Each structure stands twice: as C-alpha cells, then as structure tokens.
Amino acid sequence: MSGRSVLVVGGSRGIGLEVARQMAEEGDRVAITYRSGEPPFGLFAVRCDVTVPDDVERAFAAVEAEQGPADVVIINAGVTRDCLLLRMAEEDWAATLETNLTGAYRCAKRAVRAMLRARRGGRLVFISSAVAMVGEAGQSNYAASKAGLIGFARSLAREYGGKGITSNVVAPGLTETDMTAVLGKERLDHIIAQVPLRRIAQPREIASAVRFVASDDAAYITGAVIPVDGGVAMGH
C-alpha cells in the first residue's frame, strides 16, 4: 500500500506530527488537521476542530480532493482537563469527552463511509492512553474518554473487519510533548518512578507503533490495544 492516502487528525504537533512526518518519509501522501495556530511546514494541512461536525466533514472532503480518500486515518486529537472529581465542573467533563471520544466518533464515521465507498479496506488507528487501563488520580474525565475509545475501536473492528478495515488502538504512556510539558518536576519524577523503563517516551517511539499497526504487515491485527508505555500498564 505504498503511496497511500493518510490523514492524521490532530497532527499539528506532538505525537500526531511525528506520526505524519514518519509516514510521509516512508512515501505515503499525508495530510494533517490542525485546530489552532499555523500548520506545520511541508504537509497538506486542513483546519479542523473535531468538536464541530461541519469542520470534520470539510476536512475529510478537502483531503479527498487533494490526495484521494484516506486509506489510513489516525485519530489523535486529544485534550486534558485534569482535576480531582469533586472539583471537576460539568464543563471539564464534557469538553474532554467531546474532543477525545465524540470527536473520534465523528472522524471514524466519516472515515469509514469513504473507505467503504472506495472498497479497498483501510486502517483506523486511535490514540488512547495507558491511563485508560490503570486510571490516574486527577484524570477521571481523560481516563474515561480514553477507555471509551477502546470499546469504540473494538466495536468498529467487528463491524467492518469483513470489509478489510482494521481498527486498532495505540496506548502511549507519558510522552514528551506540549501536553506533558506543563507537569512540574515533582509530578514527573513521581510518574517516572512507576515506569519499569524509568523514563518517559519520545513521540517517535509512539509513532513507530502507529506506523506498524497502519502497515500491510499488520493486516491480520484488529481490535488490538498496543501499549507503548515503558511497561506502566502491563497486565491490563
């Protein structure tokens, strides 16, 4: 499937951008969506906020016009709104679920429709988190959204496996991006102490797993949750 049409939703920085760059280097035609700021240089980019249904429709249509219907869709857009449950406002809960889970529903639905129409199978890859399996104090909204992605992805694996569409999840542990740059040294040290490999991940390490599960070599893998977490959630 070289020269495939790939779309990374939420590909303007961090893990998503690294995935996009690696796949472009391998010869895929790669588009990304960005929500704010300027898009990164060198990739076809479409503005899209996954909380806005029309944005999702417009972004997919623009990518299709540029490089054909997406064979591979990486659903990576995500946010955190960390706080303990008793301080968690409805808005903190709703905004997290709306982006991380409902946004994924919108993108996957649009992606699958085009894949079925194109009749050449496809790859859906959802970016969840180790926190989906083991939980984290202060992240109940985020953990719920990321755990929801697993049930969602596995259901799609069953619905569309017969059409050659695989649906898998990559579950990173703490990774060095803007999302984790806000953590203080004390919190970071505390987290690292619980990681068997005693460090956080680099985006390229998450991207390697995403590339694999999106590749021809992973044609018989669907409904899988692939941990890239230094061992932090092993056994779950």
Based on the number of CB atoms within 10 Å of its own CB, is 64 exposed (0-12), middle (13-18) or buried (19 or more)?
middle
* Spatial CA neighbour of 63 closest among 120, 14, 116, 110: 110
Look at residue 136 and give its three-state secondary structure: coil
* Spatial CA neighbour of 126 closest among 233, 30, 106: 106
Q: Which residue has the tokens 């390229």?
A: 204
Smallest distance from ligand NDP to CB 4, Å: 21
CB 206 within 8 A of CB 175: yes
Q: Which residue has the tokens 């990173």?
A: 172
Q: Which stretch binds ligand NDP (CB under 6 A): 28-36, 63-71, 106-114, 209-217?
A: 28-36
Indicate the residue among 1 and 179 with the shorter CB distance to ligand NDP. 179
User: Residue 10, interface with ligand NDP (CB under 6 A)?
Assistant: yes
Q: Which stretch binds ligand NDP (CB under 6 A): 76-84, 109-117, 152-160, 188-196?
A: 76-84
Q: Which of 34, 105, 142, 220 is catalytic?
A: 142
142 assigned to active site: yes
The Cα 236–Cα 142 span in angstroms is 17
Q: Which stretch binds ligand NDP (CB under 6 A): 13-21, 63-71, 159-167, 186-194?
A: 13-21
User: Residue 111, interface with ligand NDP (CB under 6 A)?
Assistant: no
Contacts of 122 (CB under 8 A, 6+ apart): 70, 71, 72, 73, 111, 112, 115, 164, 165, 166
The Cα 40–Cα 223 span in angstroms is 31
User: Residue 5, interface with ligand NDP (CB under 6 A)?
Assistant: no
Smallest distance from ligand NDP to CB 75, Å: 8
Task: Provide the residue type at 14 as one letter.
Answer: G
Smallest distance from ligand NDP to CB 2, Å: 26
Binding-site member from 5, 6, 7, 14 for ligand NDP (CB under 6 A): 14
Binding-site member from 12, 67, 141, 222 for ligand NDP (CB under 6 A): 12
CB atoms within 10 A of CB 186: 8
Of residues 150 through 209, those in contact with ligand NDP by CB under 6 A are 172, 174-175, 177-180
User: Residue 102, interface with ligand NDP (CB under 6 A)?
Assistant: no
* Spatial CA neighbour of 202 closest among 18, 11, 33, 9: 18
| Catalytic annotation, residues | 142
Q: Where on the chain is the footprint of ligand NDP (CB under 6 A)?
A: 10, 12-16, 34-37, 48-51, 76-79, 99, 103, 127, 129, 172, 174-175, 177-180
